[in-house]
Structure 1
């Protein structure tokens, strides 16, 4: 029995959608889908119908793209109302979400729980010399503007930063209540640590990539693995003995050289047999 992960399926791209349909069945295994499935409810439904038929259990966390309010889509849901609609859609297909009890991993090994999280970002992944109220200005200097600024509404919160703060605090409370002997697989769309946001071509995009509030969560909450996406740079890194997996598929031009979509699945558990010294 294995736990796999993938993110950033971006199903509005026909090649990605077709690739997902070619994925073989893994009837004994679980799959994490770490956000950015697509922009519409129909794309989410397609993902859920496709992957719940191929895996024993699917676990989803939202990216920013799922939370966009697309002008062409009806009903036109914004902010938390849209998120709750996505949660209901997942539950209708038997997929787990950040709103469900954290599942215990049923495979071999110690007591582990999988922790799907929805945390957001707050523009704090920026240099120390850039004040919070100048973060967007700093990104604009490199001609960068995330589409979230137009399509990702934080309703009923006054800002995306406020929504992030609320999500971090509610998630922290749940994590603090876990049994002390329990290790975790932490899952979030965005990186938990600023140092892991390495975007050589667009470094100032970092402000839309997470929150410094989670910098120590891998250690504080006994993580065995941290699973994230968003960056479109699949990579395995280690910090403090914890494995960090960026599991993005990405846009067709970014993944096709890696082979078929099956080769883009990242094995989370049991994972590598050895750790680096």
Structure 2
């Protein structure tokens, strides 16, 4: 039996249909956490949707092997796949964290910080998966098999959006006003909360995670600003791992984990950059929210225990995908969160 981690991109054939017979849909999921056997088995149940797109919002796993496993399956099922990094992809595992000495083959070679992220991007490019390093593309794509097709020509321009994958990290600014930056981690520790990031997510070559975050935010802002300036009438689907807004971070069991969940510098990006939808993960709390005309989707699968109830109801990974486009109509009460156990 062949090892799926050793599969190559060249061996994968995309089952693209010759023409789009129904409107293409866009789905999303995050936090697959393929270090868990249950989640790896669940991934194998992913069903083909050859005309549709899939967004993977980070935390696939900790190693390049986890990425290859996810992309091998996802690219065989979907027309286009996007990926953004989560904190887990950026981890340097303890067995690797000796400057490459003692690193496990296929597990990132002890790379840290920006170098670890760059390795993930290289894996994405093996499989044709789009990342924050790529140009934003239009979705749904035009039908290349029949550019003069009347149905294609009649598609309303408003239906197409730009998919904008971003990488912003966090800077401990999601904290109460009375907690200082210097005291943020100790404040979380007071309730027994400390993210593994403090040990395994290195900011190299930046001095701190806050510095890396600041550089990422500035770079991403410029890219989004240029795209929206050039396309003032085009809506965006902004795709990232960390929430853009602090008011959408509600983790009742570990509320002080909020300091590792984003940056206040992105608070107004959904308005500034004309977002139709913002798609994120990280929280393992599945939900849909509205802020003004923008829909916010948290699409985490999570650890096996966190979607155990769905499995017990006979649901699988296909039921856990969130439809991003065309998506639901706005509810009458936009102030109400829709909590998602599945779908």
Paired residues in the alignment total 277
Aligned to 1:217: 269
Counterpart CA distance in 2 for 1:40 and 1:223 is 31
What does residue 52 of structure 2 align with? Answer: 29
- In structure 2, the residue matched to 1:76 is 110
| Greater relative contact order, per chain length (Cα 8 Å cut-off, separation 6+) | 1
Point out where structure 1 has 5 or more consecutive residues left out of the alignment.
Answer: none
2:118 is the counterpart of 1:88 = no
1:60 aligns with 2:83: yes
Deviations along 1:33-73, whole A, 9 cap, x unmatched? 00000011111110011111110000000000000011333
Q: Residue 241 of structure 1: CA displacement?
A: 1.8
Aligned counterparts of 2:307 and 2:166: Cα–Cα separation in 1: 25
| Correspondence 1:8-27 to 2 at 5 A | 8-27=31-50
**Paired residue for 2:73?**
50
Gapped regions of structure 2 (runs ≥ 5) = 1-23, 96-103, 142-154, 334-343
Instruction: State the match for 1:235 in structure 2.
Output: 287
1:169 to 195, 213, 218: 218
Please state if 1:7 is matched with 2:63.
Answer: no
Whole-angstrom distance in 1 between the partners of 2:209 and 2:119 = 18
Whether 1:115 aligns to 2:164 is yes
- Selected match of 2:138 from 104, 107, 113: 104
- 2:200 corresponds in structure 1 to 151
Do residues 263 (structure 1) and 315 (structure 2) align? no
Residue matched to 2:20: none
C-alpha distance in structure 1 between counterparts of 2:259 and 2:308, whole Å: 28
Partners in 1 of 2:330 and 2:214 — Cα distance?
Answer: 36
Is 1:142 the counterpart of 2:165 in the alignment?
no
Normalising by structure 2, we get a TM-score of 0.79
Give the alignment partner of residue 132 of structure 1, picking from 181, 193, 199.
181
SS of aligned partner of 1:132 = coil
Match of 1:196 among 248, 258, 261: 248
Task: Say which SS state the counterpart of residue 177 (structure 1) adopts.
Answer: helix
Distance in 2 (CA, whole Å) between partners of 1:34 and 1:175 is: 18
Cα separation, 1, equivalents of 2:276 and 2:80: 20
What is the CA–CA distance in structure 2 between the aligned matches of 1:28 and 1:184, rounded to whole Å?
Answer: 20
Q: Provide the rounded CA distance (Å) in 2 between the counterparts of 1:273 and 1:145.
A: 39
Which SS does the other structure have where 1:56 is aligned?
strand
TM-score (norm 1): 0.97
Distance 1:112 1:136 in 2: 39
Larger Rg: 1 or 2? 2
Deviation at 1:274, TM superposition (A): 4.0
Query: Structure 1: how far apart are the matches of 2:328 and 2:255?
Result: 30
Aligned residue for 2:340?
A: none
Runs (4 or more) in structure 1 with deviation over 4 Å come to none
Deviation at 1:209, TM superposition (A): 0.3
> Which of 257, 266, 279 is the equivalent residue of 1:205?
257
Q: 1:186-239 CA distances to partner (integer Å, 9 max, x unpaired)?
A: 111011000000011110000000000000001111100000000101111111
